[in-house]
């Protein structure tokens, strides 16, 4: 899984798609100032799953971002 957190004017969605492994997931937390194109060929050929999230969403007392940070420290999400 690749977690994109920047958005703005940065090309991080394209960078995330480039580095995610085949059949991987890209969790998108950042928002951009303008619409950003998705390379559909790359997404299909690598079988990428995109998950667009609200960075500041909340479930109970835990924010989406906080939950993601917690998940990164568990064996459920092996970081390589």
| pLDDT tens per residue, range 7-62 | 889 999 999 999 999 999 999 988 899 999 999 999 999 999 999 876 566 677 77
Whether 29 maps to a domain, the answer reads: yes
Q: Is the overall model pTM greater than 0.75, yes or no? A: no
Q: What is the pLDDT of residue 67?
A: 79
Range of the domain at 57: 2-72
pLDDT for 80 equals: 61
- On whether residue 57 sits in a domain, the answer given is yes
- At 79, is the pLDDT very low, low, confident or very high (cuts 50, 70, 90)? low
**Listed residue (33, 38, 28) closest to 4, CA to CA:** 28
Q: What CATH number should be reported for the domain holding residue 10?
A: 3.40.50.720
Number of independent structural domains in the chain: 1
Residue 35 near residue 60 (C-beta atoms within 8 A): no
């Amino acid at each position: 899984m690749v977690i994109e957190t920047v958005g703005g004017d940065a090309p991080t969605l394209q960078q995330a798609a480039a580095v995610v492994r085949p059949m991987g997931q890209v969790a998108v937390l950042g928002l951009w100032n303008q619409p950003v194109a998705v390379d559909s060929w790359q997404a299909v050929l690598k079988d990428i799953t995109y998950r667009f999230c609200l960075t500041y969403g909340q479930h109970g007392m835990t924010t989406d971002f906080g939950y993601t940070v917690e998940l990164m420290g568990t064996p459920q999400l092996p970081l390589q």
